[in-house]
Amino acid sequence: MKDEDIHHDADSPKTTTDDWEGAVMKVAGHEVGTVRTRGRQKTPPKVQLSLRISPDVVEFFRATGDDWQTRMDDALREWVDQHKAA
């Protein structure tokens, strides 16, 4: 459903980001989290794709811990930078 498909009136006013500040999500009366909003991306968003990588390469990067995908991206970027036509 799109925002423009929702009928807003006195009983169901349109909300703003400020309205959700500090809101708590509950399921069956149990708190399951808080509502957070994200700001604009600091850098352009990356492209999500499906890619087949050799198992040993994936294992190597995963073994480096959290943010292994970022390190893999950094390694690919370094390769691209080294191989760009001058």
Residue 65 lies inside a defined structural domain of this protein: yes
Write out the residue range of the structural domain in which residue 37 sits: 8-83
Residue 2 lies inside a defined structural domain of this protein: no
Residue 55 lies inside a defined structural domain of this protein: yes
Residue 24 lies inside a defined structural domain of this protein: yes
Residue 74 lies inside a defined structural domain of this protein: yes
CA dist 79 → 48, 60, 84 (Å): 19, 17, 9
Residue 33 lies inside a defined structural domain of this protein: yes
Question: What type of residue is 64?
Answer: T
Closest alpha carbon to 20 in 5, 9, 33, 35: 35
pTM for this entry: 0.50
Residue-level pLDDT at 37: 66
Distance CA 62, CA 68 (A): 5
Residue 40 lies inside a defined structural domain of this protein: yes
Strands (E), the chain: 24-27, 30-34
In angstroms, the first-to-last Cα distance of the chain is 49
Distance CA 24, CA 35 (A): 6
Q: How many domains does the chain have?
A: 1
- Residue 8: count of CB within 10 angstroms of its CB: 10
75 or 19: which leads in pLDDT: 75
Residue 18 lies inside a defined structural domain of this protein: yes
pLDDT by residue (tens digit) across 1-35? 787 788 888 888 888 878 878 788 888 888 887 76
